[in-house]
Structure 1
Amino acid sequence: MAKTIGRGIGRLACAALIALLAACGSAPVGPGYYRVERGDTLSKIARSNRQSVQSIVRWNNLSNPDAIEVGQVLRVAPPAGTVSATATPRPAPRGSAPPSSAREPAVADTPAPGGAPATSISLIWPTKGQVVRNFDGRNSKGIDIVNAAGTPVVAAAGGTVVYAGNGLRGYGNLLIVKHNADYLTAYAHNRALFVKEGEAVSQGQKIAEMGDTDNDRVMLHFELRYQGRSVDPARDLPAR
């Protein structure tokens, strides 16, 4: 019985972790925009919003239509001054306001050009070492930094630890720190963890030691997520 309960708790923890990594940030989006949900495809989203796949790809500057992520915000209505090739206009009663899809959303709901975050976060390097793999948004969701086992890993920014464990395959001993409503960072493959879930951490505080758990070499895999989407940490890290 105890083992069954333990397995159930483990599955729930893993599911919660995946949700944090893939779909953090569920604030409402403005009219003319759509937040990607689990099971969505670009074709399905286009059909639901009476648009063409090509239009949505163009409006969102998508380099790979098959690489949309849960939590990603997409424009699904034509920008002001443009017309969708397949959109079916609906005549409005005389004297009424234009349909909501034709009005620009609030600035806070507008995805930045090229899918880049509309806001920034001030980060410090989470560890010392050599960057051997950079972010590309497809095959690499973060950066890999190599050094000796036991090299200190620090919080790149202040926040709250929302996960500490090894329940997600491929990440080893993992920490996830939530910084605000938009940003979180993840620290993978650690040898040892020094903070617990729910604990507040300050920028620069030692939170782990570099290791090779669930990996073939000693390194830190570091990710930055903005509203659930992987973004390039180098954008917010100081130059070396």
Structure 2
Amino acid sequence: MLDTTKMIKRLACASLLAVLAACGSAPVAPGFYRVERGDTLSKIARSNRQAVQSIVRWNNLANPDSIEVGQVLRVAPPGGAASTSGAVRSNGSASASATPRAAPVESAPSAAPAPTISLVWPADGTVFRRFDGGNSKGIDISAAAGTPVIAAAPGTVVYAGNGLRGYGNLLILKHNGEYLTAYAHNRLLLVKEGESVNRGEKIAEMGDTDTDRVMLHFELRYQGRSIDPSRALPPR
């Protein structure tokens, strides 16, 4: 029990998967906020004296009701531009003298970016489920048991184990300060935590641990938030 608890805490502190509650996070730049357990967009907006609509616009949020633990949100106008909601006094009321200004064209670091990481396919097989940002946080590939699973990019193994419910035998690779890839449901893990791996190196064998079919569930995460791996993979 003690080893499992330590393993889950280590996952959470590293912000490896948004499905875990963060017990500690790297600091974010001024004007940004990292989502914590129990947060809602309206709560974050009130805490930062901004309009919900402004935060939605600054972060290109398609669904304001769907934010994830560990997600980094812009909570201040880009470039120091005034919020279109007007200046806010200490009592929370809008200042009548404040003149809203149109904000410039904005880009949101927390919105799913065009990936600047180049990946190779982590396994041969048939993609039977694709990323949708909701029920599917990655892509699912089916093939025969024992099919080689390879590192999609060079990196370091930051997790190797089966302590995360629903993922079976899981590997997580860290590629730089912003990107992680996850490889779930393996029958055999061939690398250990702390090891460096090369692109295309065999790291596991496909299996059906904690699932009802042989498959590889593959995720790509940017700043702790899941994004579509297909955007960084070559066409098939």
TMscore range, shorter length: 0.7 to 0.9
Give the deviation of 1:82 after TM superposition. Answer: 5.5
Greater fraction helix: 1
Equivalent residue number for residue 202 of structure 2: 206
Q: CA deviation at 1:85?
A: 2.0
CA distance in 1, matches of 2:137, 2:88: 37
Which amino acid letter does the alignment assign opposite residue 206 of structure 1?
K
What letter is aligned with 2:171? L
Task: State percent identity of aligned pairs.
Answer: 71
Q: Does residue 111 in structure 1 map to residue 105 in structure 2?
A: no
Q: What TM-score comes out, normalization by structure 2 length?
A: 0.83
Which residue of the partner structure matches residue 73 of structure 1? 72
CA shift digits 1:153-211 (9 cap, x unpaired):
00001111111111010000000111111111000000111111111111101000111
User: Which of the numbers 160, 176, 186 marks the counterpart of 1:164?
Assistant: 160
Deviation of the 1:42 alpha carbon: 0.9
Query: Is the Cα contact below 8 Å between 2:114 and 2:231 reproduced in 1?
Result: no
Alignment partner, residue 44 of structure 1: 43
Q: Distance in 2 between matches of 1:169 and 1:231?
A: 21
Equivalent residue runs for 1:136-147 within 5 Å: 136-147=132-143
1:172-187 to 2 correspondence within 5 Å? 172-187=168-183
The residue number in structure 2 matching 1:13 is 7
Q: Secondary structure at the match of 2:205?
A: strand
Where 2:16 maps in the other structure, the secondary structure is helix
Report what 2:32 is aligned to. Answer: 33
**C-alpha distance in 2 between matches for 1:87 and 1:66:** 25
| Structure 1 position 50, deviation (Å) | 0.8
Distance in 1 between the 2:161 and 2:210 partners?
12
C-alpha contact 2:171 2:183 (8 A) present in aligned 1 = yes
CA distance in 2, matches of 1:85, 1:135: 35
Rounded to whole Å, the distance in 2 between the matches of 1:73 and 1:132 is 30
Structure 2 unaligned spans of 5+: 91-102
Deviation at 1:86, TM superposition (A): 5.7
3-state SS of paired residue (2:3)? helix
Q: Distance in 2 between matches of 1:67 and 1:174?
A: 25
- Alpha-carbon distance, 1:37 to partner: 2.5
Equivalent residue runs for 1:211-226 within 5 Å:
211-226=207-222
Code of the aligned partner of 1:76: V
When normalised by structure 1's length, the TM-score is 0.82
Distance in 2 between residues matched to 1:203 and 1:73, nearest whole Å: 28
Cα offset for 1:21? 1.4
Q: Does 1:84 align with 2:71?
A: no
Q: Which residue of 2 aligns with 1:93?
A: none
Asked if 1 retains the 8 angstrom alpha-carbon contact of 2:115 and 2:231, the reply is no
